[in-house]
Chains A and B, each alone.
Chain A
Amino acid sequence: EAGVVQSPRYKIIEKKQPVAFWCNPISGHNTLYWYRQNLGQGPELLIRYENEEAVDDSQLPKDRFSAERLKGVDSTLKIQPAELGDSAVYLCASSPGPGTSYEQYFGPGTRLTVT
């Protein structure tokens, strides 16, 4: 079974530029999460999707961050414009969905460096 796929793995951009990250969850997983992991910290939730619906986006900085999961499968997270403080690893995770197991399956992450 293929795991969670993320691309790109690394991205270096200048501040004020836009950037986008892509995630393809495990087949059949209805729940998709985007996390940000700063150096020396645990992951912090940005947004959670149940199918195509964003059900928890309270931690997403909506002035510059946006996300979509149009067909309830893969998802894109965008930052526009990027700031120096956005440098972090962006992790995508998936799980089967409500009423099933609670553990999450993580992708390898995208390491973003903003210069």
Chain B
Amino acid sequence: AQSVAQPEDQVNVAEGNPLTVKCTYSVSGNPYLFWYVQYPNRGLQFLLKYITGDNLVKGSYGFEAEFNKSQTSFHLKKPSALVSDSALYFCAVSSAGSYIPTFGRGTSLIVHP
């Protein structure tokens, strides 16, 4: 079985400061990892993915994530947060070659002006 843990229900950060949203996973074999963002009353929007290759992946809106196999983590990062980044962020994992991801519970990111 595959699973995702997002240990923080909420992350608070000041605008301009770096942000990190944590994600750890469990899966059989190699993982496919994803981050999605959800704004109020909207569907999930794809941010970035790790399938293979470079452990540091870059995505939309200046976000990036680092795949760490030994720690089974895929933390989402951004060097300088914007108020408009405030949203709900979901990490998801699937086993390699699978099209069925398991999503975490989500982390609410609040960026204060």
Can you report 6 residue pairs joining A to B where beta carbons are below 8 Å apart?
A42-B90, A56-B100, A102-B32, A106-B45, A107-B43, A109-B43
The one of A42, A48, A56, A107 in contact with B103, judged by C-beta atoms closer than 8 angstroms, is A42
Q: Contact: B105 with A41, CB < 8 Å?
A: yes
Residue in chain A with minimal CB distance to B98: A102
Q: Contact: A106 with B99, CB < 8 Å?
A: no
The one of B4, B41, B44, B94 in contact with A102, judged by C-beta atoms closer than 8 angstroms, is B94
The one of B4, B49, B90, B104 in contact with A103, judged by C-beta atoms closer than 8 angstroms, is B49
Q: Mark B44-75, 1 if CB is under 8 A from A, else 0.
A: 11100101000000000000000000000000
Contact of B25 with A by CB under 8 A: no
| A42–B106 CA distance with the chains assembled, in angstroms | 6
- What's the minimum C-beta distance from B50 to chain A, rounded to whole angstroms? 10
Q: Contact: A105 with B46, CB < 8 Å?
A: yes
